[in-house]
Amino acid sequence: MLTPSWTTEFKSSYKTLAELEAFLGFSVSASPEVTATYPVFIPRRLAQKIKTQGPDSVLARQFLPHQNELENQQAGFSDPIGDQRFLKAPQLIHRYPTRALFAPTTVCPVHCRYCFRKNELYAKEEMFRPEFEQTMDYLKSHPEISEIIFTGGDPFTLSDEKILFYLDSFKTIPSIKDVRFHTRYPVSLPERIDEGLLKILITAQKSFRTVSVAIHVNHIDEFDQDAAHAIERLSTTGVQLLSQTVLLRGVNDQREALVNLFQEFIRLKVRPYYLHHPDQVKGGLHFYLSLEQGRTLYHSLRQELPGWAIPQYIIDLPGGEGKVPAHNSESHQFSGHLITLHGDTISLEEPVSPS
């Protein structure tokens, strides 16, 4: 029996609340207005796991629509980390001097209900307009940029041919030495990690100093045998495997949940890289927890994990000021001010987390 291709699996994903509820066998706590604003997209394999684990599972909380997404529409930000401010060319965000984000697609293998770009993606913002010649011109005129970070959307949604085209284009610019992909595919739709993609990643290492794949997972329950196999296949290519996790209220805001997750990353030879404090995103504040809570939780990880197994705990500052360390070794309390990458301070008024 032939294994279905990843594109076949992708196309068969649940795209309406009605068909999703019919499959799950239980009602989802969301009105049609929620899914009209923030659409449903869940692969069938993930929907099966949610059905098995139930409506109160961490998978359900992350990926099923919820009425809370409309209840906090007036709070937070549509563009919480200032993408628009640093959009320097079509699909290119140049926030850090030596690194640029490249967003070639708005499409993901699953719609995460906490996503910091959920408002930009669904509104089809101008930042995603493809004008690749302008993007290349900007990169050529800014030789300080040494790393291209594929983001989106999820860059592995692109066809092998399109990924290869972009890599072949970027390798013609001598100043670009490193490339990185941020993706959810290994756990959301592991069929995507096929021979064609693996070959591209192996070949790319001949043209760039480093090729990295940052795998986004928030809870150990997202792993299964297929996901582990996909990550093991990525490991055989020799690319640098990194982890990316968002700290989420009601999902992984317990020490045991994070310890189990990071230990699984280590088992799969993935380096724990980023633990993101949740962004103040419109439609996602029900996932928010205070910095004091996050710092206390992060500090507790050292009781069970060595330093090399603990990711950086960071926060993306509003307005595009960039990622800064969120942990304060002197105090778990938050003064209301954070130091930016430029050495200035920025005031951050934390919203009240919904009860």
Does 321 have pLDDT greater than 70? yes
Label residue 114 by pLDDT band (50, 70, 90): very high
What's the whole-model pTM score? Answer: 0.93
Whole-number Å distance between alpha carbons of 341 and 300: 26
Whole-number Å distance between alpha carbons of 112 and 332: 29
Does 4 have pLDDT greater than 60? yes
Label residue 291 by pLDDT band (50, 70, 90): very high
Note the pLDDT tens digit of each residue in 210-259: 999 999 999 999 999 999 999 999 999 999 999 999 999 999 999 999 99
Whole-number Å distance between alpha carbons of 73 and 185: 29
Does 1 have pLDDT greater than 50? no
Contacts of 343 (CB under 8 A, 6+ apart): none
Are the C-beta atoms of residues 135 and 109 closer than 8 Å to each other? no
Return the CATH superfamily for domain 6-347.
Aldolase class I (3.20.20.70)
Across the chain, mean pLDDT equals: 91
> What pLDDT shows up at residue 342?
67
Does 47 have pLDDT greater than 50? yes
Q: Which residue has the tokens 């409506």?
A: 55
> What pLDDT shows up at residue 163?
98
Question: Which segment of 81-95, 136-150, 204-218, 322-336 scores lowest on mean pLDDT?
Answer: 322-336
Sequence ranges of the domains in the chain: 6-347
